[in-house]
């Protein structure tokens, strides 16, 4: 393919309810979408960077800037373009994995649409449906939490993930176990809110039979996670620390994780995400698909990834209505705790023009 140009579109999506984690509260999601136009087809990508640099150092305006000033102009110099050409072309620019992932995804989507192949087939999917979990934010009270968890279980979600932070950890988990029983698949996510000094406290989660505790310590302190794994019985899962297949291999070798959360935006794209999956499978480490409150564009690609064989735990690939009353694509709907893997060309979905226009705040066009 030859690149004709790239459209950068900023949209604002109101959430159905506030979503609170250890690093802040979100009521809306500001999202940067990319539309890559080539001589053969168009493709879409979604940048998962947040409005502020809280989850990671990346944020929406920085992603827009680096794409505009460096990444897209560099990609325009590539004579023969496909998904596999993106990462090598952009390798000299340090970091900015979320921006790179969005651009690679859009190029890959265009390539696959031109060839009539699905993202799931390209990545190596072995399932046509994937089991779904849901992420439950920090609440104002235990009662509010129990109501929310009960609603998600009634909706059919197969796994519950509770966001935790110091002061909101043992008791919320205890309350959920006492109300809903030991058969509920339950895990917790700290988003780096603790330090190794909290190890004994976190061991207090062991009696509740959790699937895992996700990223309790700072993303750069992989060694501390290895130390924690020697102290607690609950399996340790890494999220923010896993930025590449090499980082995953190092963490596994160190004994810092027994489970890995794969978020394609965090690692630079779906092709690197597949490499991480392959490393984990080779080492007998289960993986699951994380989420970043994506629209249907990003959700479609995440569901395709989650259909690979190593994804043995339900991921955060929730239905569209978990976060948005109206999505910009046809909504993903939960069916007996599962989502259907898109089988159409590329990511298998496209934005609905009217819905997209309704949430758009800015559009820029960068010709090759």
Would residue 346 count as lying in a domain?
Answer: no
* Nearest alpha-carbon partner for 103 in 132, 130, 127, 73: 73
Cβ(365)–Cβ(7) below 8 Å:
yes
pLDDT tens digits, 303-343: 999 999 999 999 999 999 999 999 999 999 999 999 999 99
Q: What is the CATH number of the domain that holds 37?
A: 3.30.390.10
User: Hey, how many other C-beta atoms are within 10 angstroms of the C-beta on 147?
Assistant: 11
Where does the pLDDT of residue 23 fall: very low under 50, low under 70, confident under 90, or very high at 90 and above?
Answer: confident
138 and 74 fall within a common domain: no
Q: What is the mean pLDDT of the chain?
A: 96
107 and 128 fall within a common domain: no
Which residue is catalytic, options 2, 94, 161, 263?
A: 263
Would residue 192 count as lying in a domain?
Answer: yes
Would residue 306 count as lying in a domain?
Answer: yes
**What pLDDT score does 286 carry?**
97
User: Hey, how many other C-beta atoms are within 10 angstroms of the C-beta on 69?
Assistant: 10
150 and 76 fall within a common domain: no
Query: In this structure, what is the dihedral angle of CA atoms 71, 72, 76, 82, given to the nearest 10 degrees?
Result: 80
70 and 167 fall within a common domain: no
**What pLDDT score does 190 carry?**
96
53 and 110 fall within a common domain: yes
**What pLDDT score does 20 carry?**
84
pLDDT tens digits, 96-114: 999 999 999 999 999 999 9
Would residue 251 count as lying in a domain?
Answer: yes
> pTM of the full predicted structure?
0.95
Extract the tokens encoding 52. Answer: 């502020």
Domain assignment of residue 44, given as a range: 3-116+352-367
103 and 128 fall within a common domain: no
169 and 223 fall within a common domain: yes
Would residue 347 count as lying in a domain?
Answer: no
**What pLDDT score does 24 carry?**
79
Q: How many domains does the chain have?
A: 2
Indicate the pairing of strand 3-21 with strand 360-367. Answer: antiparallel
14 and 85 fall within a common domain: yes
**Residue 272 neighbours by CB under 8 Å, 6+ apart:** 87, 244, 245, 264
Where does the pLDDT of residue 298 fall: very low under 50, low under 70, confident under 90, or very high at 90 and above?
Answer: very high
Cα–Cα distance measured from residue 239 to residue 282, given in angstroms and rounded to the nearest whole number? 19
Q: What is the mean pLDDT of residues 44-67?
A: 96
Cα–Cα distance measured from residue 127 to residue 263, given in angstroms and rounded to the nearest whole number? 19
Extract the tokens encoding 300. Answer: 């479609």
Residue 2 bears catalytic tag: no
229 and 335 fall within a common domain: yes
132 and 50 fall within a common domain: no
**What pLDDT score does 25 carry?**
84
62 and 134 fall within a common domain: no
Cα–Cα distance measured from residue 265 to residue 99, given in angstroms and rounded to the nearest whole number? 8
pLDDT tens digits, 155-210: 999 999 999 999 999 999 999 999 999 999 999 999 999 999 999 999 999 999 99
Residue 263 bears catalytic tag: yes
Which residue is catalytic, options 94, 161, 163, 362?
A: 163
**Residue 245 neighbours by CB under 8 Å, 6+ apart:** 272, 275, 276, 278, 279
Where does the pLDDT of residue 18 fall: very low under 50, low under 70, confident under 90, or very high at 90 and above?
Answer: confident
**What pLDDT score does 19 carry?**
84
Where does the pLDDT of residue 26 fall: very low under 50, low under 70, confident under 90, or very high at 90 and above?
Answer: confident
């Amino acid at each position: 393919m030859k690149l004709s140009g790239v459209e950068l579109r900023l949209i604002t999506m109101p959430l159905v309810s506030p979503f609170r984690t250890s690093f802040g509260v979100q009521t809306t999601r500001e999202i940067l979408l990319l539309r890559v136009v080539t001589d053969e087809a168009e493709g879409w990508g979604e940048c998962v960077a947040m409005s502020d640099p809280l989850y990671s150092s990346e944020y929406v305006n920085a992603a827009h800037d680096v794409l505009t000033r460096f990444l897209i102009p560099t990609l325009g110099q590539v004579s023969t373009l496909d998904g596999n050409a993106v990462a090598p072309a952009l390798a000299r620019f340090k970091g900015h994995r979320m921006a790179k992932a969005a651009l690679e995804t859009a190029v890959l989507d265009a390539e696959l649409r031109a060839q009539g192949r699905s993202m799931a087939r390209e990545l190596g999917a072995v399932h046509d449906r994937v089991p779904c979990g849901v992420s439950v934010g920090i609440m104002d009270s235990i009662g509010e939490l129990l109501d929310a968890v009960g609603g998600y279980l009634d909706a059919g979600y197969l796994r519950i993930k509770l966001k935790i932070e110091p002061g909101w950890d043992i008791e919320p988990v205890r309350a959920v176990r006492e109300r809903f029983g030991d058969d509920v698949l339950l895990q917790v996510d700290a988003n780096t809110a603790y330090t190794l000094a909290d190890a004994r406290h976190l061991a207090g989660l062991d009696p509740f039979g959790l699937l895992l505790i996700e990223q309790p310590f700072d993303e750069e302190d992989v060694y501390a996670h290895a130390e924690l794994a020697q102290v607690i019985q609950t399996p340790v899962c890494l999220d923010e620390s896993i930025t590449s297949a090499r980082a995953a291999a190092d963490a596994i070798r160190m004994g810092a994780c027994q489970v890995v959360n794969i978020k394609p935006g965090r690692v630079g794209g779906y092709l690197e995400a597949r490499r991480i999956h392959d490393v984990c499978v080779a080492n007998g480490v289960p993986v699951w698909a994380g989420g970043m409150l994506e629209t249907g564009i990003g959700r479609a690609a995440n569901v395709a990834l989650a259909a690979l064989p190593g994804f043995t735990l339900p991921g955060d690939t929730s239905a569209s209505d978990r976060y948005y009353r109206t999505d910009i694509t046809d909504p993903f709907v939960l069916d007996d705790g599962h989502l259907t893997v898109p089988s159409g060309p590329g990511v298998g979905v496209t934005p609905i023009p009217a819905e997209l226009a309704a949430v758009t705040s800015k559009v820029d066009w960068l010709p090759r």
